[in-house]
Chain A
Amino acid sequence: MTTPTSPVSPTPWVVRRSSLASRIGSGALVVIGFALFGVPQVFGTNIVQQLTSLLIFLILAVMWNALAGYAGLVSVGQQAFIGFGAYGTIFMTQQGIQPYLAMIFAAIASAALAVVLSLFVLRLRGGRFAVGTWVVAETIALLISLDQAIGGGTGTSLRGLNAYPRQVRIAYTYWLTLGFTVLLLLILFLLLRNRAGVGLQAIRDDEEAAASLGVRVGRLKFVLFVLAGFGCGAAGALTLANTLFIQPQSIFGVQWSAYLIFMVLVGGLGTFEGPIIGAILFFVIQHQFADLGAWYLIGLGLIAVAFALFLPRGLWSLINDRLHIRLLPVGYHLLRRSPDASANDRGKPNP
């Protein structure tokens, strides 16, 4: 994994990991990340709550993209983990665990659930995986709605958080959400920069070719499936903390998958930056148009289909193809080393 940049090399190309843009981009992201921690000190609870839901969307989009964009696993059943994280939190607070601690445990429990479920669903590929995960989500939803102790089919609310004053509770929830977001982005970033990342991008491009070159497809898929289980479980627990009330039909609803597919397709499938853009865009769209009900969802569906057909790499590809910018250095670039700086010296991304 060392970059061959020795100056005696006779080729006019150098391999670069980062560029000016990615240095500025990642620097800016780190600054934004730190700045976001200060939001509850400055803004009111309404804005903090809105930001929390934006960050939850962001976690979900990033996790779904990790599955679909890199491991080639289109899941229609991530709501299984969202719901499991939320109900896990309810269950653990009933056992007397402090709510915020329960949320973290619930996320870990969701990762454990993903380990178990991987035995079933990772055997499936393509469309079979998609519907298989959906069946699993429905099964878990049915099992939970049978259990009267955690509210049954009518839903339940998270009680333990009433102990905190409203403002403090909203700030804590926000900080925990931001903490999870940063953690998950960091894990994914390190994973993609690692040897595993090269393997994952190879799987994204052609699973069979990657396997024939020695990429451990099964293991990498497993890692991402468990990571996505963890992230979606966390997102579910945080959704509960943000809304305080859940029902099996909505927290296990397949509309989550519709939102995830929309965010990732519009932002850019298989890119690091795409889901972030998609989540922000979806958040704005939801704010503007959610009142339209069915028309809003028809619009979302049509836009998602249009993107899948005509711009499958999403909005980020428009920026990336024109300007060759990557905000985060997760790939390698070829740079032509030309002493007489011609028009060619612009960095070209490695396809």
Chain B
Amino acid sequence: MNWINAIVQGVFLGGLYALFACGLSLMFGVMRIINLAHGDLAVIGAFGVWVVDTQAHLPPFIALLPVLPVMLLLGYLLHRTVLARSLRSGPLTPLLTTFGVSIVIQNALLQIFSPDVHSLGSLTGSISTSSWRVTSELSVPYLGVLILAVAVLLLGSLQFTLQYTGFGREMRATAQDPEAAALVGVPASSVYARATAIAVATAALAGAFLAIHSTFDPSSGPTQLIFAFEAVVIGGLGSLWGTLLGGIVLGIAQTIGATVDPQYSILTGHLVFLVILASPRGRFVANRSAAA
């Protein structure tokens, strides 16, 4: 029963990782870059919600509403100022610049908010603590269901946007061939900027849910980036539903590891990731080009 509980909790944890991963997956799919500041942008989102929450005394889910448009704008500006120029100077430059941005964000947050650990869990009231008790050992937390539902909804709407809307068509066209897309009147830089804006906003959403689900501090970003990346690679790069699956696999691996011994939790996740990478399928996953 313990194991079943671990798997159920792992599925919900996987929802959170999928939420983190979908922005990373989107940016990789459209621009072929890995944004190393993704986790730190999520932490900015978490701090944003925390600030609105404590200053305006709003519950976190309402405090999220003004934060998301700000993060959209931040993502747009990030692309216009840093990424657009990086993309022009070759495939390695975006890595170097986003890593630099990540260092700047972490230390700026440290300077502004001090290294204290925060959580929004206590501010959300009963939803973050209550659960449906199925049996004496198996319980289904409300928050886990909510996060998983948000993740499915977000991935579904991204998938829908990519497949059926004009903007989605523009993103797919630009992902396939930026020059050809530009020839038919789809400027890559504008598509990229909007995709980055969406990715950063989803990161902020994920950061807010992380803050409600557990704790965060200025240096939480890199860990979340690593989990998001593992989810993306386990699920197969560039496929959004694969990302959800990857997140869930990672979540289950971590909760099963934690059942054995709490200090094995993260380690088990890493090992599952490495095993998948080393498996024959790993070569396929690693070299597969994105099909957004």
Contacts and interface: CB of A to CB of B under 8 A. Distances in A.
Answer yes or no: are A and B bound together in one complex. yes
B2 interface: no
A89 B100 CA distance: 32
Contact of A130 (B36, B82, B107, B237): B36
Contacts of A184: none
A134 B226 contact: yes
Contacts of B103: 258, 297-298, 300-301, 304
Interface stretch (A47-55, A120-128, A219-227, A228-236): A120-128
B101 interface: yes
A312 B93 contact: yes
A72 interface: yes
Interface string B20-31: 000000001000
B232 to A, nearest CB: 9
A62 interface: no
Interface stretch (B66-74, B131-139, B266-274): B266-274
A265 B36 contact: no
Contacts of A76: 36, 99
A160 to B, nearest CB: 29
A308 B48 CA distance: 29
Nearest to B83: A309
Interface string A310-322: 0010000000000
A305 B97 contact: yes
B233 interface: yes
Nearest to A127: B34
B108 A127 contact: no
B104 interface: yes
Contacts of B168: none
Contact of B86 (A74, A136, A142, A308): A308
Nearest to A139: B270
A294 interface: yes
Chain B interface, >50% SS class: helix
Contact of B95 (A126, A254, A258): A126
B92 A261 contact: no
Most chain-A Cβ atoms within 10 A of its Cβ — which of B33, B36, B230? B36
A138 interface: yes
B278 interface: yes
A298 B274 contact: no
B100 A128 contact: no
Given A126-B91, A257-B99, A309 B85 contact: yes
B55 interface: no
Given A124-B286, A130-B36, A142-B267, A135 B97 contact: no
Contacts of A143: 267
Contacts of B230: 135
A182 interface: no
A119 interface: yes
Contacts of B32: 126
B274 A301 contact: no
A135 B82 contact: no
Residue from the set B99, B271, B287 with the largest chain A CB neighbour count within 10 Å: B99
Interface in A265-304: 265, 294-295, 297-298, 300-302, 304
A185 to B, nearest CB: 23
A257 B99 CA distance: 9
A63 interface: no
Contacts of A261: 96, 99-100
A75 to B, nearest CB: 10
A187 interface: no
B187 interface: no
B270 A123 contact: no
A131 interface: yes
B165 to A, nearest CB: 27
Interface string A233-261: 00000000000000000000010011001
Given A120-B274, A135-B229, A308-B86, 15 more contacts: A120-B278, A123-B277, A127-B95, A128-B233, A128-B286, A134-B226, A135-B274, A139-B270, A139-B271, A298-B107, A298-B108, A298-B111, A301-B100, A301-B103, A309-B85
24 contacts: A123-B287, A125-B287, A126-B91, A127-B36, A128-B34, A134-B226, A135-B274, A138-B270, A139-B267, A139-B271, A142-B263, A142-B266, A146-B263, A146-B267, A265-B96, A294-B110, A297-B107, A298-B103, A300-B103, A301-B101, A308-B86, A308-B100, A309-B86, A312-B89
Interface of A: 68, 72, 74, 76, 119-120, 123-128, 130-132, 134-136, 138-139, 142-143, 146, 254, 257-258, 261, 265, 294-295, 297-298, 300-302, 304-305, 308-309, 312
Rank and list the top 3 A-B pairs by shortest CB-CB distance, nearest first.
A127-B34, A301-B103, A305-B100
